[in-house]
Amino acid sequence: MRSMYGNPVAVAAEIGTQLRGTPAKMRARKFGRVAKLLWPLKTAATLAEIANRTAPSPNYYSPRTAERWISGEFEAPLGVYAEAINEMNRLE
């Protein structure tokens, strides 16, 4: 019996499965926890408002998108990170 390592198609399929896998949330990111500490009430709505204020005009971010940033499913825009850093410095 031949091993799968002798079959380039099987090897490519195995490697592709390992690399793709299931889309994992960004576990290393702590942005959601920090955002909830900075803006405990209506966190998603506040983040969406900040993103809309700091983003170029054709972009529009909804609170649903901000919920995905908080959960770690998507990365937030840099303007939101900058605003969070400004808020932390202001609280000190």
- Is residue 17 in a domain? no
For residue range 21-74, list pLDDT tens digits in order: 445 555 547 889 999 999 999 999 999 999 988 877 788 899 999 999 998 888
- Is residue 12 in a domain? no
- Is residue 57 in a domain? yes
The per-residue pLDDT for 62 is: 92
- Is residue 11 in a domain? no
- Is residue 85 in a domain? yes
- Is residue 2 in a domain? no
| Residue 2 pLDDT exceeds 60 | no
- Is residue 42 in a domain? yes
The per-residue pLDDT for 78 is: 87
| Residue 81 pLDDT exceeds 70 | yes
Bigger pLDDT: 22 or 7?
Answer: 7
- Per the structure, the count of domains in the chain is 1
**Helices in the chain by DSSP H: which ranges?**
8-20, 31-38, 43-54, 63-71, 78-91
The per-residue pLDDT for 74 is: 86
Query: Which domain does 39 fall in, by range?
Result: 26-91
